Amino acid sequence: MGSALVAPAAPHLIRLDASAVLALLDRRDPDHERVRRVFVEDAGPYLVPAWTLAEIGYLVEGRLKARALDVFLADLESGAFSFECGEADVPRR
């Protein structure tokens, strides 16, 4: 049988919603360990859509302390998460 050409695997992108970020930041969240483990085991890239940033800020400030929001924003600024503002930010196929 002839060899088949296999296309290289497309890099995966993980788009985060507010619930994933909240679970990651809140150690009391029932899903915290499961979500944390995913972040540890998978290097991403993790995308934070612009439209969810306000929701993340609202939920984190309301349920956790401002310090948790500062930690998340510092991670966003450092590049641990990518901020997605639209089609120009991430190459699409």
pLDDT tens-digit series, residues 67-84: 998 998 898 889 888 887
55 within some domain:
yes
What is the CATH number for 60?
A: 3.40.50.1010
89 within some domain:
no
Q: What is the pLDDT of residues 19-51, one digit of tens each?
A: 999 999 999 999 999 999 998 998 888 888 888
Nearest Cα to 56, choosing from 26, 78, 13?
26
69 within some domain:
yes
Q: Which pLDDT band holds residue 1 (cuts at 50, 70, 90)?
A: very low
Residue 47 parent element (H or E): strand 46-49
Please state the pTM of the whole predicted model: 0.72
48 within some domain:
yes
Task: Please state the domain count of the chain.
Answer: 1
Identify residue 21 by its one-letter amino acid code: V
